[in-house]
Amino acid sequence: MSKGGRSSGGGRGLFDPTKMRAQSSSKPADGGPTDAALTVTQLTGLIRGALQAHLPASLDVIGELSNISRPAAGHMYFTLKDSGSEMRCVMWRSDVARLKFDVADGMEVIATGGVDVYEPRGQVQLYVKKLSPRGVGALELAFQQLKEKLQAEGLFDADRKRPLPRFPKTIAVITSSTGAAIKDVLDTLRRRYPVVKVLTVGVRVQGEGAAREVADAIKLVNRVAKQYDGIDALIVGRGGGSIEDLWAFNEEPVARAIAASKIPVISAVGHETDFTIADFVADKRAATPTAAAELAVPVRDELLAGIAELNRRMRRAVRERIDDDRRRIDAVAYTRWFRDPIGQLRQRHQQLDELAGRLRLDVHRELNSLRHRLAAAENLLVRGRPSVQLARRQMELQQAQLRLTLNLRSRISHLHESIDRQHYRLRSSSPRHTILQQQQHVEELQRRLQYSMRMKLKREQLRVVTLGDRLVASSPNAVLRRGYTITRKRRSQEVIRSTKQLRDGDRVVTLTADGRFESRVVELQQGELFE
């Protein structure tokens, strides 16, 4: 069946010899007529144009699969046949990746795609965009219907999917609080990026009402995001199971909640081979919950190693650039144009003088030749018709003089242009100009290095001040100022930590924030220990 009606042709037929003659500039080698002759390429082009003009862009074709071939590139080639005919089909790698079932020879399917011509072979092929098995179940039909509905609304469009933050601070996880998925996600996040904060929301992930709980949890996380200073990513999913177990993530409320989420959503439902509607709507699809955690955060150790490597490469590049610039400056300083630019310019002037001398010699020779020709013409005039011969020779002489004058002016102009170009090149390659540019570049590098050192110093100063504040806050004097005291034995200066260290009559010294005082132990068993 077709998705669009066949277009009706009007006016001239598909084969138009006039247009083909205009498109072809070659003629047969035997000199035969060309009004209706076509090359093979032109014929396949006509067939392709006819198919495109008279067939809809997309067709649904029912048939049986055979001769399936899947090369290493990932494309799939097969034959679609019925009892009366067969047609070669091609399915590109990107479309093969979207298949939800395994194909096999003998399977009856509905192939959706367009008909076109493979011009190098002149072969008509069906370019398949989608394959569907015939006789699908109720769940599969519901899945397809919801998928087509949401796709038509643009919920699967790539341009609406948002990128995940590279360095997230807070991540929310919506899944079952008792399943293995939450443990896998938390263990992976803690191992890869322990600085990230994780907000977990436990929900039912299968059974009646599970879809509504998941959708409500997504909306709740979006509402409370501000309370956590923003949530950078949201992982929604569960472990593997049957299609019935995963069905909560194929329902419309979950798809709508994911599409309306202001937080980028990673869908992590089931195993690698499981696909749900949530996967198509989410900003990112992960094969498993563990893979979702790996997508959400980077590896801290790799980041630190990368920063260290970039710092080392930057320092090495700066040193190499400075060394290279110094070598270039030294090389320029020893060039002939730098040491004696005036001498080089004088050589160019000398070359110009030599060319001008050659030009004058050529002009002199040309004039002598013309004089000889004129003398010969005068001799002929004496023996022939003087008036006609004289007029013709005079005209030739004038034309020769004109050509000579134009030639002379052209050569002089070219010489002047050559001198100007040499002068411009000399100025543009001036060592002073090159040295000034390199000095400016070195100054810019020094300025950037000084700025980096100042920022590093400020960070270290702030760190020292912070550590000092912590040290002061945890010092004994600070503790005493908060109302605590320190009591020692008078003779041994031992700090009293327990009444077992004291005996009746012992003298003790108590230290406070503003002074000290002595006491004597009266009775250890009573609540009042001191006089």
pLDDT in tens, 343-374: 778 778 888 888 888 899 999 899 999 988 88
Find the mean pLDDT for residues 496-504: 81
Q: How far is CA 130 from the centre of its chain?
A: 28
Find the mean pLDDT for residues 120-140: 78
Q: How far apart are CA 436 and CA 77, in angstroms?
A: 64
Q: How far apart are CA 384 and CA 379, in angstroms?
A: 9
Q: What pairs with residue 91 in β-bridges?
A: 76
Summarised one tens digit per residue, pLDDT across range 433-460 is 778 878 888 888 888 888 888 898 888 8
Q: What is the mean pLDDT of the chain?
A: 82
Q: What pairs with residue 289 in β-bridges?
A: none
Q: What is the structure's pLDDT at 531? A: 44
Tokens standing for residue 362? 């050529």
**Identity of the residue numbered 485:** T
| Opening angle at CA 519, ends 513 and 524, nearest 5 | 115
What are the φ and ψ backbone dihedral angles of 25, each rounded to 5 degrees?
-105, 0
Question: Which 3-state string (H, E, C) describes 333-363?
Answer: HCCHHHHCHHHHHHHHHHHHHHHHHHHHHHH
Q: How far apart are CA 239 and CA 241, in angstroms?
A: 7
Find the mean pLDDT for residues 44-54: 85
DSSP element (H, E) containing 390: helix 386-428
Q: How far is CA 281 from CA 154, 453, 501, in A?
A: 9, 47, 71
Portion of the chain with pLDDT greater than 90, in percent: 19
| Opening angle at CA 128, ends 136 and 98, nearest 5 | 60
Ranking 418-427, 505-514, 521-530 by mean pLDDT, the lowest is 521-530
Name the more confident of 524 and 131.
131
Q: How far apart are CA 267 and CA 287, in angstroms?
A: 8
Tokens standing for residue 1? 């069946």
Q: How far apart are CA 141 and CA 134, in angstroms?
A: 11
Environment class of 428 (CB within 10 Å of its CB; exposed 0-12, middle 13-18, buried 19+):
exposed
Q: What is the structure's pLDDT at 234? A: 93
What are the φ and ψ backbone dihedral angles of 510, each rounded to 5 degrees?
-110, 125
Q: How far apart are CA 105 and CA 406, in angstroms?
A: 83
**CB-based contact 204:251 (threshold 8 Å):** no
Collapsed DSSP state (helix, strand, coil) of residue 144: helix
Q: How far apart are CA 19 and CA 67, in angstroms?
A: 40
DSSP 403: H
463 band by pLDDT with thresholds 50, 70 and 90? confident
